[in-house]
Structures are given as structure tokens and as C-alpha cells.
A and B are shown apart, each in its own frame.
Chain A
Amino acid sequence: MTQAEIKLCSLLLQEHFGEIVEKIGVHLIRTGSQPLRVIAHDTGTSLDQVKKSLCVLIQHNLVTYQVHKRGMVEYEAQCSQVLRMLRYPRYIYTSKTLYNDTGELIVEELLLNGKMTMSAVVKKVADRLTETMEDGKTMDYAEVANTFVRLADTHFVQRCPLVPATEKSDTGSPPPAPILVINEKDMYLVPTLNLIGKGKRRRSFEEEAAGEPKAKRLKHTTDNKEPIPDDGIYWQANLDRFHQHFRDQTIVSAVANRMDQTSSEIVRTMLRMSEITTPSSAPFTQPLSSNEIFRSLPVGYNISKQVLDQYLTLLADDPLEFVGKSGDSGGGMYVINLHKALASLATATLESVVQERFGSRCARIFRLVLQKKHLEQKQVEDFAMIPAKEAKDMLYKMLSENFILLQEIPKTPDHAPSRTFYLYTVNILSAARMLLHRCYKSIANLIERRQFETKENKRLLEKSQRVEAIIASMQATGAEEEQLQEIEEMITAPERQQLETLKRNVNKLDASEIQVDETIFLLESYIESTMKRP
């Protein structure tokens, strides 16, 4: 765990769960797994606060626990999970594009709450959707449940590890912590819930008492009394599946940029066909024959088998090797080389970073070294066709920034410089790691800047919120236009301008965070896929 990552985790935890949780979480990240009392002692936090914080972190799958031999329970932070919080908007947006507003809200609720039972999710989402609808219209539970089932079928949500049911029977001495079991078979099995009836009853209730707090409280109590049909079966968002989806999207758009729309559509079809059959970490998809691909092409897509075959051959011949040919049976068997695709995308990212940071001539040198693997300084100057002095300058600049590495090969054992070859190389993996580290750092900087900006203008923000609240309440009571105007003028013109600037800055910083995270995602996937290869 690098310092930059810890810093970022700390900022994220603080923003999502407050300072106390942040303290506990960061302590765990720094020290590894620890028992409860040690955490309380080392952080100087009261035991109560530590327990609460741990409950929160466990609820959000950010901390796991393990029972040790002497009955001690140790808690361990999952740093990578903490960093995933950066990507929450993207997960939610993706589920919106795939499964509309209902899917969006389901995933949002799951992410906000860490884990939930299906019945709770369905209820909450239906309520929220009903709120946004016009008067008289309501969302049916069954409809939400339906979307939930679809999300589970496509593995975007999955069950959390279960607490084994046998625990109650043995009365001897219950273990200090439940041992959670993952049942691979049931991971995506949705419990059969009879949610339709409930939805209807609830709806009529809501119509009777529109928005009255008393009725709401009443409703809550009735809810609590009902036995929960899927008690203990918790669901969480399957982030790996989302990542797989992001990866596929990136590959498809890369193909579209490189060749054309049709070829990207073919690749999309191939990826969709192997979505469920290929594990997300596999380097290749399952081989698909061209006949199969032809049958699975989207209905509206009018290309003949011949054209398809031509496209496939073209894709397989492409030097980037996104698509590979694995055999000749069934009209030619094709696979998508996922690892290669990620490597190409990571390399392209590196190249473009070099280009944007150091200019196109540096990028030329970088690509040259990348292509030729090992080059001596003299060769770099010659091949890049850049004056020797400038080329040296650029080379050293990239060397000092760790984009390029220097490899010494001594001719004699004494490493005398005059009898040593100095070869410049690019190690994509280490360069990607370095860049990833920088991305973490820049996001941490972005967050800190944003917090600074908001803190600086705290008074102003509070004022504008208050004024807005007053206006809203007055509008509700039916105030006159003049009165409203008067209140609106409580914020002076320069203040308004300042608010505008602040809003623009914060928006920009937030947008940058999201987009840097896209780079992080790509680099992380590349590193992960490279590390998994034997």
C-alpha cells in the first residue's frame, strides 16, 4: 500500500463516513489486521466508537474479520474496496443505461447501504420511484423485483456470503464471530418472494394518506411487524461484473475508433456471447465459430456471412491482435484476446500521457523505444531523426520521470562506463504502475482542493442554502412575487458571482475525479491481468 493510496483512502472514507470511521479505517489499512482492543488502544478512540465504525465498515464490505486460534477476532481493511468508492457514480450510471431508472436506483441503494436484503431494496426503490411519479401513479413492487431479477441474472448483483444456519442448534459455546460461507451455486439465485400482494396494499395505503407524517410512521410500524421473507439473504453490487462491462465497452470503442462501426459491432457481439461463459479474469474469451457469431448478430444488422468473414479476417490480421484466430473448424474459430487488448489500451494511454506532458517529439522517441525494445542513445538520436542534443534532453527528461528505463550491460566485470552498453527501454508494466500511482495522487489532490474550495466559501454556501429554503417555504405558502424577489436579493450580485465561480470550480474538480478514475480503471485492469498470467 503506497502512501498515495492511503491518503486517497483516508479522504474517501472521511467524505463517506465521517472522521471517526476514517481514523479507524486508515489505521487498519496502515497496520494490517488487528483485534478490536488494539485498534481502540492505538487510535485512542473509545471502544464504542471503534465498534460502531467497524460495523459501518463491515456493512460496506470494506473490512473483513477472521477468527484466530485463541478466539480472537481480527479485522482487516480491504484497501482496494475503499478505492472503488471513486467509481460509484460510474456503476450507477452504467446500470441506468442498461436497466433504466429502476436499475439505477437498485444499484444506488446497494452501494449506499453496502448490503441489503432483496425485499428491502425493492421496497425502497419502489417508494423512491413512486415519489418522483405524478400523483395517483405508483410503482409496482413486482416491476422493481423484475428488474432486480434481471440484474441478478446478468450477475450485476450477487449474494453476500451467508451465515450458516446450523449455528443456532449447537448450544455449547458459539464462536466469537460467524463464519461466512459463499455458496457458489446460489450466488445469483433470487429468493422467491411474493412481493406483488404487498405492493398493492401499500399503494392503496399511500393514496389514502398522502404525505402525512403520522401515516408514515404508522406505515413503518406495520412494515416492521411483517415477517421478512428473505431474512438473512443479503445482496451486494458485483463490482467485478461492472468492471468486466467497462472493459468490454472500452474494447468495443477502441475497435470502433481503429476500424469502423461494423467491426466494433462484431466485437460487441462476440463479447456479449461470452459474457457469462468467460470468467472476468480470463485472458481469452471462449472460441466462437464465425457461424455462431453470424447467428448472434443483432437483428437489424444487415451484413452477409461473407462480409462477416472478411471482417473477422481483417480483425485477426490487425497488428493490435484484439481478435485472434484459434482454429479453422466451423468456418473459423475466433477469440478475443482480452489481455492483449488491455495491454494495447494501457500502452496507448502511456503514449498519450507522454505526448500531452512532453510534446509530440518526446512521444516519437517514446514510441520508438517501445517498438525497438532496447536502444542505445546514439541509435535513439538517429532513428528519431531529432538533433542529437535535443534528443538527449528529451530522453533524460523521460528517464528522470520514470517513463523510460536505463539498462546497463557491462562488457567487463568492473562496470567501467567506457566499456558498458547503456540501453534505453520501456517497461510498460512498471510505467503503468508509476502512472497509476500518480493518478491516485492527483485524485487525492483534486479532492483536497475541492474540500478547500468549499471550506473557504462555507459561509456563503450556508447563506445561499438558507435563502433557498426560505424561498421554497414561502412559495409553498403562496407568497407574492415581490416578496420572493426581496428575499432573493439577500444574496448580493458579487456573492452570486462568487457562488457561480465556486460551482464551476467544484464541477470541474469533480468531473476530473471521475475522468482520472477512468484511467485508473484501465491501468488497474491491465496490471491485474498481467499479474494473473503464469
Chain B
Amino acid sequence: MAGNKGRGRAAYTFNIEAVGFTRGEKLPDVVLKPPPVFPDTDYKPVPLKTGEGEDYMLALKQELRETMKRMPYYIETPEEKQDIERYSKNYMKIYKEEWVPDWRRLPREMMPRTKCRKAGPKSKKPTDATKVASLVNSADVLKKIEELEKKGDGEKSDEETEEKEGSKEKSKEGDEEEEDDAAEQEEYDEEEQEEENDYINSYFEDGDDFVADSDDNMDEATY
């Protein structure tokens, strides 16, 4: 230790010879950069195993990858519109079989909207359904208003209009799939508020049944 100091070298607290440097040898430079991304290897890798099994598994793997893309589980990102519409694109489209999950095995919140979506682009059915739904909705709202009038509960009116909005939105959604994104956001907020309201209702007006009931009805109408 002391010897090192005397020779003007950086002071180490240990015997530098123990680490493999002879006396007087220059220490390696300090490394100030990360190691190379593709360093030279001293030893070349051993060749891969080959054989019938390996070849078969390789084929399986590649086939599996292709098959997976054709499964209904592969959700593609909506493509951006290209300036030039390519004729060849039409041929490359993959027709997937439809997949309807077993709703019994999934949480309830998974179900309604997804189903609605699935039915969306198809055709007549959704418009009918939404018409009915909106009818039911308006009927519901009317009934609610009546009942509210009886009660004369001022506080409720806020929530009512909100829900009315909600029902309108929902009926719109069936026809207009494209506008989904914008509506999505609103829908999201609205639903959240609904939830908040649920909470407040049950908190302040415990035992007041009809509000909770009509809420349920609203929900079902959208399903």
C-alpha cells in the first residue's frame, strides 16, 4: 500500500499485484463508453441441431404464425387511408370466420357493447333494434318524469337529462359506426357519471326503490 503511494501511483487500498498487475505496469484506461452492441466473439456459436423433428417443428412454427393471423382472435389495427387505393389489397384481404365468445364465461361488462358492435355493421337488424330501444328509452323517460313530478324532487332533474342524452347517444351509435371514437369518449364519461350517480343514490336515499329500478331499465334497453 505504502509502496504504491511512494511511486506516485493512485492510492489503492489493496495490493495491486494480487489482481494480476506486476509492479510498474500501466493500468488499463478507464472505460467511459458502453460496450459495443455487437462485440466480437472469441468463440463462434455451435451450429443448430438439425433433424427430422427440428424441421417439422420449424414448419409447424411458421405455419402456426400464418394461421394465427387468419384466426378471428387477431385484431387488426384500423388502417389509415392511403392516397392511392391499391387493387392488390382486395386480394390480400383475409376473410375470417366470426367468433362469438361464450358470454357465460366472461364478466358481464364484457358483453353488451361488444355484441352491439358485432351487430353494428351488418345491416337492418341494428336499426330496428335501436329504434325499439329509443322508443323504450323515451317511454321510460316519460314515465320517470311523471313519477318525478309526483314526487317533486328537484334534485333529480339533472340526472334525468343526463340519462336522456345517454339514451340518444346510444341509439345513434347503432347506425354510425364510424363516429364511434368521438361518441366513445362521451359514452365513457356518461357511463362513469351514471356510476357516480348510482353511488350517490344509494348513499342518500336508501330504500328509495324506484330510482334504482328505472336505472336498471335504462341499462337493459341498451343491451
Q: Could you list which residues of chain A lie within 8 angstroms of chain B, going by C-beta atoms?
A: 15-21, 36-37, 40, 46-49, 51-56, 58-60, 65, 67, 73, 88-90, 92-93, 96-97, 108, 112-114, 163, 174, 176-178, 180, 232, 234, 356-359, 377, 388-389, 392-393, 396, 416-418, 462, 466, 469, 506-508, 510-515
Contact = CB atoms under 8 A, between A and B. Distances in A.
Interface residues of B, number: 53
A73 B109 contact: yes
30 contacts: A16-B68, A17-B73, A18-B75, A20-B77, A47-B113, A48-B113, A51-B110, A55-B101, A67-B107, A89-B57, A92-B64, A163-B104, A176-B107, A177-B109, A178-B104, A178-B107, A357-B43, A358-B43, A377-B18, A389-B20, A396-B20, A417-B15, A418-B1, A466-B91, A510-B62, A511-B48, A511-B58, A513-B61, A514-B54, A515-B48
B64 A88 contact: yes
A20 B75 contact: yes
Contacts of A177: 106-109
Contacts, number: 149
Contacts of A388: 20
Contacts of B3: none
B200 interface: no
B187 to A, nearest CB: 7
Contacts of B187: 47
A17 B42 contact: no
B106 A58 contact: yes
Nearest to B68: A16
Contacts of B61: 88-89, 510, 513-514
B204 interface: no
B11 interface: no
A60 B73 contact: yes
Nearest to A86: B61
Interface of B: 1, 13-15, 18-20, 41-43, 45-46, 48-49, 53-54, 56-58, 60-62, 64-65, 67-68, 71, 73-77, 88, 91-92, 101-102, 104-110, 113-114, 117, 180-181, 184, 187-188, 192
Contacts of B67: 112
The dominant DSSP class at the B interface is: helix
**5 A-B pairs closest in CB distance:** A177-B107, A417-B14, A392-B20, A89-B60, A89-B61
A521 B115 CA distance: 40
Interface on chain A toward B: helix, strand, loop, or mixed SS? helix
Contact of A46 (B15, B19, B65, B184): B184
Nearest to B12: A417
Given A19-B77, A512-B48, A466 B107 contact: no
Given A417-B14, A417-B15, A507-B58, 19 more contacts: A18-B76, A21-B75, A48-B117, A51-B110, A51-B113, A55-B101, A55-B106, A112-B67, A112-B68, A113-B71, A176-B108, A178-B105, A356-B46, A392-B19, A392-B20, A506-B62, A508-B48, A514-B57, A514-B61
Nearest to A21: B75
B180 A48 contact: yes
B20 to A, nearest CB: 4
B5 to A, nearest CB: 14
Contact of A37 (B42, B46, B75, B192): B192
Contacts of B43: 356-359
B73 A510 contact: no
Contacts of A174: 108
B20 A15 contact: no
A178 B111 CA distance: 12
Nearest to B216: A173
Given A17-B73, A49-B75, A55 B14 contact: no
B109 A176 contact: yes
Contacts of B65: 15
A59 B188 contact: no
A452 B58 CA distance: 19
Given A180-B105, A358-B42, A512-B48, A17 B74 contact: yes
A16 B69 CA distance: 7
A515 B20 contact: no
A53 B75 contact: yes
Give the one of A234, A393, A508, A514 with max B CB within 10 A. A514
B120 to A, nearest CB: 10
A248 B180 CA distance: 53
Contacts of B49: 515
Contacts of A18: 74-77
Nearest to B49: A515
Nearest to B1: A418
A56 B126 CA distance: 24
Contacts of A58: 101, 105-106
A160 B167 CA distance: 38
A290 to B, nearest CB: 33
A54 B114 CA distance: 11
B199 to A, nearest CB: 9
A67 B108 CA distance: 11
A65 B107 contact: yes
A40 B91 CA distance: 34
A37 B194 CA distance: 14
A418 B13 CA distance: 8
A358 B41 CA distance: 9
A48 B104 contact: no
Residue of B41, B77, B110 with most chain A CB atoms under a 10 A cut-off = B110
B75 A93 contact: no
A12 to B, nearest CB: 10
A476 to B, nearest CB: 16
A398 to B, nearest CB: 13
B107 A89 contact: no
Contacts of A507: 58
Contacts of B107: 65, 67, 73, 176-178
A392 to B, nearest CB: 4
A459 to B, nearest CB: 11
B125 to A, nearest CB: 17
Contacts of A17: 68, 73-75
Nearest to A56: B73
Q: Which of A51, A67, A178 has the most CB of B within 10 A?
A: A51
A112 to B, nearest CB: 6
